[in-house]
Amino acid sequence: MKIGTLATHTGLSVQAIRYYEQQQLLPEPVRSAGNYRVYDEAAARQLLFIKHCRNLGLALEEIRVLLRVRTTPDEACTEINLIVDAHMVNVDARLAELQDLRQQLTALRTKCQDNQTAKDCGILRELFQH
- One-letter-per-residue 3-state SS of 36-104: CEECCHHHHHHHHHHHHHHHCCCCHHHHHHHHHHHCCCCCCCHHHHHHHHHHHHHHHHHHHHHHHHHHH
Q: What is the pLDDT of residue 65?
A: 94
Work out whether the CA dihedral 39, 41, 42, 43 comes out positive or negative.
positive
Three-class secondary structure of residue 19 per DSSP: helix
Three-class secondary structure of residue 23 per DSSP: coil
**In CATH, what is the architecture of 3-129?**
Orthogonal Bundle (1.10)
Write down the domain spans for the chain: 3-129
pLDDT in tens, 70-89: 999 898 899 999 999 999 99
Provide mean pLDDT across the span 23-32: 92
Instruction: Share the mean pLDDT of the chain.
Output: 93
User: Shortest CA distance to 80 belongs to which of 104, 56, 102?
Assistant: 56
DSSP element (H, E) containing 122: helix 122-129
pTM of the model: 0.78
pLDDT in tens, 92-122: 999 999 999 999 999 999 988 888 888 889 9
At 11, the pLDDT band (50, 70, 90 cuts) reads very high
User: Shortest CA distance to 6 belongs to which of 19, 17, 22, 20?
Assistant: 17
